[in-house]
Amino acid sequence: MNTSLRAGPDARGLFGSFGGQYVAETLMPLIHDLAAEYEKAKDDPAFIEELAYFQRDYVGRPSPLYFAERLTEQCGGAKIYFKREELNHTGAHKINNCIGQILLAKRMGKKRIIAETGAGMHGVATATVAARFGMECVVYMGTTDIDRQQANVFRMKLLGATVIPVTAGTGTLKDAMNEALRDWVTNVETTFYLIGTVAGPHPYPAMVRDFQAVIGKETRAQLHEKEGRLPDSLVACIGGGSNAMGLFHPFLDDQSVQIIGVEAAGYGIETGKHAASLNGGIPGVLHGNRTFLLQDDDGQIIDAHSISAGLDYPGIGPEHAWLHDIGRVQYTSITDHEALEAFHTCCRLEGIIPALESSHALAEAFKRAPTLPKDHLMVINLSGRGDKDMQTVMHHMQQTAEKH
């Protein structure tokens, strides 16, 4: 028996009792094809080489591991490093996965790419790779998210993608994913569904994780070069959980490394207005996988809330659900307010404008760092940059000013 925590999922796509392939029959043959094709591709030297080429020359990898000196001083405890995923082409970790999946789509002879997006970062990254590989691109985006992420909507259009507004539900990521699944079921022969996070039916959670694991692999090598050892803790924000899984996965078997995932607590878990599936949800089945979900007494899905559109999802990747279940990763939560404070602190002290998503990880790290010894090495995944969030942050600063 393989006791490695990195061995999952099993042949049925399960991590413990989480994951699986809970989709309509129309999609099943395609999902099996995709899984088989991915198994072949991931061991194919030509595929590996092409992926490495695009990661280096197009995405700009490796991303730096940066010693955040002034934040470290301010916190007065742990030595804080940032994994600079916000420096990637298109401004977030999302492109790591998109490059991988578009190369797979090309291998499978697909010409049409669809995607769902919340904050728009995955939509932009998908539109980017679709442009680069000359494929048609359709992005589903909730109307609430379109309103708060207009710059990204414009970017997707510039890149030649069609952005389809989704009015169902609260017009956020969950509704966009439903609509993308409906498109897929309708255009199953021609279309590749480029899922943006470590969720959905198998093989997506494992495949997206593998493409994102470059984050953790680089971190391991870079920290070894700088400090000669493993980190003591890792901190990353979690919506669906792809940036976190990418950082965490290569370290899961290193028991000395404390791993912390940060969910979005919105207005506070106790208010019910949050996006913390693990801290405020229970197991259920949605969007192709069994995982922790925000749901009511009748098993109806509850809309998530977070200031950050990228975390605004009522579920979480199944591998996180399992890691939570077995206790390997500790999952905490940070409110909108705490995330905004951390956002400002990072801007002023490090000259880096982080995404509101990543600001959740920063806020958690700022709580922990002061209590830790100076030789504690902490890595925060700076998963995206905050340019897209200017409108939201301005709006909140105005509201705060009016209150005072």
Annotated catalytic sites, by residue? 94, 116, 383
**Phi and psi (nearest 5°) for 367?**
-70, -40
Interface with other proteins includes 169 (CB under 8 A)?
A: yes
Residue 291 found at the interface with other proteins (CB under 8 A) = no
Judge if the upstream peptide bond of residue 314 is cis by omega within 30 degrees of 0: no
Question: How far apart are CB 134 and other proteins at their closest, in Å?
Answer: 25
Instruction: Find out whether 152 and 123 touch, Cβ atoms under 8 Å.
Output: yes
Beta bridge partners of 65: 83
- Residue 196 or 246: which CB sits closer to other proteins? 196
182 binds other proteins (CB under 8 A): yes
**In the set 214, 264, 276, 293, which binds other proteins (CB under 8 A)?**
293
* DSSP symbols for 171-219: SSHHHHHHHHHHHHHHSTTTEEE---SS-SSTTHHHHHHHHHTHHHHHH
Minimal CA–CA distance to 223: which of 379, 61, 109, 86? Answer: 379
Query: Quick one: 255 or 300, whose CB is closer to other proteins?
Result: 300
Q: How far is the CB of 277 from other proteins (least distance, A)?
A: 13
| The residue to which tokens 């995405």 are assigned | 59
Cβ of residue 36: shortest distance to other proteins, in angstroms?
13
Q: Which of 252, 265, 286, 352 binds other proteins (CB under 8 A)?
A: 286
Site string for other proteins, 22-41 (x = CB under 8 A): xxxxxxxxx-----------
Among the residue ranges 56-64, 97-105, 148-156, 175-183, the one whose residues contact other proteins (CB under 8 A)? 175-183
Phi then psi dihedrals of residue 325, to 5 deg: -60, -45
Q: Distance between CA atoms of 277 and 237, rounded to whole angstroms?
A: 13
The answer to whether 221 touches 365, Cβ cutoff 8 Å, is no
- φ/ψ region of 304 (left if φ > 0, alpha if ψ in -120 to 50, else beta) reads beta
Minimum CB–partner distance for residue 24 and other proteins (Å):
4
Q: Is 109 in the site for other proteins (CB under 8 A)?
A: no
In this complex, which beta carbon is closest to other proteins, that of residue 266 or of residue 315?
315
Near other proteins by CB under 8 A: residue from 249, 287, 368, 385? 287
Least distance from C-beta 296 to other proteins, angstroms? 9
Q: Interface with other proteins includes 174 (CB under 8 A)? A: yes
Task: Please list the residues that pair with 259 across neighbouring strands.
Answer: 234
Cβ atoms within 10 Å, residue 397: 12
CB of 282 to other proteins, least distance (A): 8
Residue 64 exposure: Cα atoms within 13 Å on the Cβ side: 5
In this structure, how many other beta carbons lie within 10 angstroms of the beta carbon of residue 117? 32
Pick the stretch among 143-151, 282-290, 305-313, 395-403 that binds other proteins (CB under 8 A): 282-290
Binding residue for other proteins (CB under 8 A) from 5, 18, 21, 379?
21
3-state helix, strand, coil in the chain (%, to 5): 50, 20, 30
Q: Name the residue nearer to other proteins (CB basis): 160 or 165.
A: 165
The residue within the footprint of other proteins, chosen from 43, 49, 298, 402 (CB under 8 A), is 298
Using CB under 8 A, list all residues that contact other proteins: 12, 20-30, 168-169, 174, 178, 181-182, 185-189, 282-288, 290, 293, 295, 297-301
